[in-house]
């Protein structure tokens, strides 16, 4: 006979599992999408129509993500934008994807060293993901000279101190987001425990970071954070020159004030990138442009057209969709969004 004291825990576990199963199958316990009791319904519809028209068929995924999934269903966001390993990829002759599924990191190889854009969640990810990814692509991390941080959320700067301490890289971001990184809680949330990098360089709007044969132009585009940096830099595809634009805050604003800032920044960014002839879309979260899938296409079909090359007009439409979806969010909060 099985002793009674060993049977009771098994019964308790079975009862707990049954209770959990019942709770999960009870609609009263289903998670709900975000609700907006004060939404301006007519304005929501108007801006959705504008975003949908801008998106067309070729940007429908970006429209759905920014206008619906991201602001409404955090369960889907968590499911899709999870921490996970993805193959590193040489996306252009001089630009390499070295991040993970949840958050991007990029390496620009220049004649005088490597520029890294964003550094993942923490030192462990920098050491165990970013650096091995570089090495697997033939990039020597000892050649990292500059680290550019697009903004002050910890998932973008968490590994910066490791690169700074290990390879002597100089870390740069805007004054506003240095203040965010250096605040006592480092921007709050799950990153409050991180140790920030030393402040090596403060980038102002319009500053140019040059390393060897490559210059990156930086602009301060508030909205996602107070000092979000957006970057323009040259890339080449099989020797043909293109211009890449990385808007550092395609994640949008988080409230009415930041959403208004985001809309203004996007309008300015569209003008800047059009004037610069930006035709390549790069983002700092893969899901914002299906980058993981595009990178797989490059690995398997290297002679096919590069899916990161959008062309000037499509790039402009993408940013227009981002702006229109910010207006949708304002209308959900009860404003006109205009």
| Tokens encoding 130 | 């970013």
Q: How far is CA 336 from CA 12, 30, 50, 52, 304, in A?
A: 54, 31, 14, 18, 44
| Tokens encoding 218 | 């930086």
Question: In the structure, what pLDDT confidence band is assigned to residue 28 with cuts at 50, 70 and 90?
Answer: confident
**Spatial separation of the C-alpha atoms in residues 235 and 243, rounded to whole Å:** 6
pLDDT for 4: 36
Convert the pLDDT of each residue in 78-96 to its tens digit.
Answer: 999 999 999 999 999 999 9
73 or 14: which carries more pLDDT confidence? 73
Question: In the structure, what pLDDT confidence band is assigned to residue 7 with cuts at 50, 70 and 90?
Answer: very low
Convert the pLDDT of each residue in 128-154 to its tens digit.
Answer: 999 999 999 999 999 999 999 999 999
Domain residue extents for the chain = 41-332
Q: What is the DSSP string of 16-79?
A: HHHHHHHHHHSGGGS------TT--HHHHHHHHHHHHHHHTTTTHHHHHIIIIIHHH-HHHHHH
CATH no. for 41-332: 3.60.15.10
Q: Among residues 175, 280, 160, which one has the least CA distance to residue 218?
A: 175
* Mean pLDDT, the chain, whole residue set: 93
Q: Residue 242 pairs with which residues in a beta bridge?
A: 235
Indicate if the pLDDT at residue 311 is higher than 60. yes
Spatial CB neighbours of 60, under 8 Å, sequence gap ≥ 6: none
Indicate if the pLDDT at residue 10 is higher than 70. no
Convert the pLDDT of each residue in 202-238 to its tens digit.
Answer: 999 999 999 999 999 999 999 999 999 999 999 999 9
């Amino acid at each position: 006979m099985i002793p009674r004291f060993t049977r009771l825990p098994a019964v308790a576990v079975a009862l707990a599992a049954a209770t959990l199963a019942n709770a999960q199958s009870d609609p009263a316990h289903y998670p709900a999408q975000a609700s907006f009791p004060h939404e301006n319904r007519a304005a929501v519809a108007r801006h959705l129509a504008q975003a949908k028209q801008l998106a067309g068929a070729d940007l429908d995924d970006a429209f759905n993500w920014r206008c619906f999934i991201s602001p409404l269903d955090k369960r889907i966001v968590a499911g899709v934008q999870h921490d996970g390993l993805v193959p590193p990829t040489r996306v252009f002759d001089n630009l390499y994807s070295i991040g993970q599924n949840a958050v991007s990191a990029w390496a620009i190889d220049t004649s005088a060293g490597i520029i890294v854009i964003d550094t993942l969640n923490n030192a462990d990810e920098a050491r165990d993901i970013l650096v091995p990814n570089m090495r697997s692509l033939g990039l020597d991390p000892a050649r990292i000279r500059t680290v550019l941080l697009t903004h002050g959320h910890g998932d973008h700067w968490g590994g910066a101190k490791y690169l700074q301490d290990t390879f002597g890289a100089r870390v740069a971001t805007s004054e506003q987001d240095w203040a965010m990184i250096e605040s006592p809680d480092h921007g709050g949330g799950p990153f409050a425990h991180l140790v920030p990098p030393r402040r090596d360089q403060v980038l102002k709007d319009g500053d140019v970071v040059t390393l060897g044969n490559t210059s990156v132009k930086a602009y301060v585009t508030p909205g996602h954070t107070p000092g979000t940096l957006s970057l323009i830099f040259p890339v080449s595809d099989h020797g043909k020159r293109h211009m890449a634009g990385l808007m550092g805050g395609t994640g949008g604003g988080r409230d009415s004030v930041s959403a208004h800032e985001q809309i203004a920044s996007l309008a300015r960014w569209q003008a800047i990138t059009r004037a610069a002839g930006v035709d390549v879309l790069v983002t700092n979260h893969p899901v914002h442009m299906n980058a993981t899938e595009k990178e797989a296409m490059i690995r398997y079909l290297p002679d096919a057209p590069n899916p990161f090359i959008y062309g000037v007009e499509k790039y402009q439409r993408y940013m227009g969709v981002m702006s229109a979806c910010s207006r949708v969010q304002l209308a959900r909060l009860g404003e006109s969004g205009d």
